[in-house]
């Protein structure tokens, strides 16, 4: 029996939400371990779309417990609004179904104000932040001046921390950025009101996970963003402020590495990116527009148009190394249907030399030219395929080449947005038990 970690292998938006939703039906606990509400997981169940930003997407399964780990930075207003929306859809959100780590850091209004002020000051050099205060909140966390969920339970501590932080933040906002300052009382009063609503959910998440493991429960760990937005291993500085890689589960949920058994990497059948930053396989032609429109490539959180390009196996190989992937899941394969030719980047050409990794220096990366392999496309509808044999031969050739180059087995292939539009070759909770080998 395995505990499973689901991570993105690209720049986020790989379709992790659907995969987590499917796997959650077999798990006892679903745990989010990093990021904030700069992430969005879009789910389609019974024809209805639901977008989760903080609460793990497993919440749609009524008998499952979802946990928000200490590695997540939480905007209380967003969390309460998400609870309200889910409740309005008939989804019960109680302390029996949702826990928030007492050690999770809280996003404050001054974090969002600083985020926006800094991005505006950068002008053309901006990095494409969502402006939701994620980065400044993580800064306060590592600067040892953050406000944690547990502080909501002590009004005096909360008051002292807000006052202390506001003194510094208002100085930066007014003196450095020329922005408006924030008043203490409205912030404090609002957070006291939210504290009453959130306090029932505050818990020791690490203990909850440990108790489930001791009872033989199955844990599903859910990441946000993608490997190449990782603060350490991504295309810095065009990255997020946390670690989306699998190793961050240990710090972000309070578990030991011996509890992580199967690491599943989610790979979109092509590549997308939101915001600024390098993108070697980006398509700036009609094919890029085709992928964007057919794939409905707009950010679930920001609504921004996603840049689109061919699948990049150089970045996938890096992700395999960073995460220690056990299997890969290919999503949105159906979006490629209808193209005459499909390409996969298998290496980069750097000054006449073939390389198989992404350079850390962005100027060097910008000089890299993708080396492509070309495949004939397919016209057949694949969204009704229930197994690999029902896919066209050309589609299977494409998948088999991904598997061959990555040297990691396929476990799941998604051929549409709905739960049932999924082909499973392996159950990660039972791995290495293979249900059906890829054809």
**pLDDT given at position 272:** 96
**pLDDT given at position 140:** 97
- Flag whether the pTM goes above 0.85: yes
DSSP one-letter string for 96-113: TTEEEETTPEEP-HHHHH
pLDDT, tens digit only, all 439 positions of the chain: 689 999 999 999 999 988 998 999 999 999 999 999 876 666 666 667 777 789 988 888 888 999 999 999 999 999 999 999 999 988 989 999 999 999 999 999 999 999 999 988 877 666 666 789 999 999 999 999 999 999 999 999 999 999 999 999 999 999 999 999 999 999 999 999 999 999 999 999 999 999 999 999 999 999 899 999 999 999 999 999 999 999 999 999 999 999 999 999 999 999 999 988 999 999 999 999 999 999 999 876 667 889 999 999 999 999 999 999 999 999 999 999 999 999 999 999 999 999 999 999 999 999 999 999 999 999 999 999 999 999 999 999 999 999 999 999 999 999 999 989 999 999 999 965 444 444 3
Tell me which of 21, 41, 53, 228 is the catalytic residue.
41
Helix axes 155-171, 184-198, angle to 10 degrees: 140
The Cβ of residue 248 has, within 10 Å, a number of other Cβ atoms equal to: 24
Is there a catalytic annotation at residue 61? no
Tell me which of 13, 115, 312, 318 is the catalytic residue.
13
Do the beta carbons of residue 292 and residue 330 sit within 8 Å? no
**pLDDT given at position 435:** 43
**Separation CA 175–CA 155 (nearest Å):** 30
* Strands, E assignment, 57-168: 65-68, 73-74, 98-101, 105-106
DSSP one-letter string for 178-198: -PPP--HHHHHHHHHHHHHHH
**pLDDT given at position 127:** 63
In order of their start, the domains of the chain are 4-90+204-424 (3.90.170.10), 105-201 (1.10.300.10)
**pLDDT given at position 142:** 97
* Exposure on the CB side of residue 291, measured as CA atoms within 13 A: 25
**Separation CA 345–CA 347 (nearest Å):** 6
* Strands, E assignment, 56-97: 65-68, 73-74
Q: How many residues does the chain have?
A: 439
**Separation CA 105–CA 38 (nearest Å):** 15
Is there a catalytic annotation at residue 41? yes
């Amino acid at each position: 029996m395995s505990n499973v970690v689901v991570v993105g292998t690209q720049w986020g938006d790989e379709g992790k939400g659907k995969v987590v939703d499917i796997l959650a039906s077999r798990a006892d606990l679903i745990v989010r371990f990093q990021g904030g509400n700069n992430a969005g997981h879009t789910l389609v169940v019974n024809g209805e779309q639901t977008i989760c930003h903080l609460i793990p997407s497993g919440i749609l399964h009524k008998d499952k417990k979802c946990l928000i780990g200490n590695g997540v930075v939480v905007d209380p207003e967003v969390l309460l609004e998400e609870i309200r929306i889910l409740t309005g859809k008939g989804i019960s959100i109680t302390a029996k179904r949702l826990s928030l780590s007492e050690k999770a850091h809280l996003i404050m209004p001054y974090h969002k104000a600083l985020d926006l002020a800094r991005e505006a000051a950068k002008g053309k050099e901006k990095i494409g932040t969502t402006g939701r205060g994620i980065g400044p909140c993580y800064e306060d966390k590592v600067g040892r001046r953050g406000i944690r969920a547990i502080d909501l339970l002590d009004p005096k501590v909360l008051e002292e921390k807000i006052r202390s932080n506001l003194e510094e933040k208002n100085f930066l906002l007014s003196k450095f950025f020329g922005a408006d300052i924030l008043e203490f009382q409205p912030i404090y009063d609002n957070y006291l009101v939210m504290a009453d609503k959130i306090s029932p959910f505050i818990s020791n998440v690490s203990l909850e996970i440990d108790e489930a493991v001791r009872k033989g429960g199955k844990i599903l760990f859910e990441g946000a963003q993608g490997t190449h937005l990782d603060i350490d291993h991504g295309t810095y500085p065009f990255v997020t402020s946390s670690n989306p890689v699998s190793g961050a589960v240990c710090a972000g949920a309070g578990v030991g590495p011996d509890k992580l058994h199967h690491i599943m990497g989610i790979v979109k059948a092509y590549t997308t990116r939101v915001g600024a930053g390098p993108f070697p396989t980006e398509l700036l032609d009609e094919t890029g527009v085709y992928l964007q429109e057919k794939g409905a490539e707009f950010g679930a959180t920001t609504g921004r148009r996603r840049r689109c390009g061919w699948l990049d196996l150089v970045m996938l190989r890096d992700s395999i190394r960073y995460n220690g992937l056990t299997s890969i899941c290919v999503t949105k394969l159906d979006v490629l249907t209808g193209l005459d030719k499909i390409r996969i980047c298998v290496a980069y050409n750097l000054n006449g030399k073939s390389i198989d990794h992404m350079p850390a220096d962005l100027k060097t990366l910008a000089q890299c030219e993708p080396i492509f392999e070309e495949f004939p496309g397919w016209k057949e509808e694949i969204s009704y395929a229930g197994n690999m044999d029902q896919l066209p031969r050309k589609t299977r050739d494409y998948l088999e080449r991904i598997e061959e180059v990555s040297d990691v087995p396929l476990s799941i292939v998604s051929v549409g947005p709905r739960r049932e539009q999924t082909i499973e070759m392996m159950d990660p909770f039972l791995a290495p038990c293979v249900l059906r080998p890829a054809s």
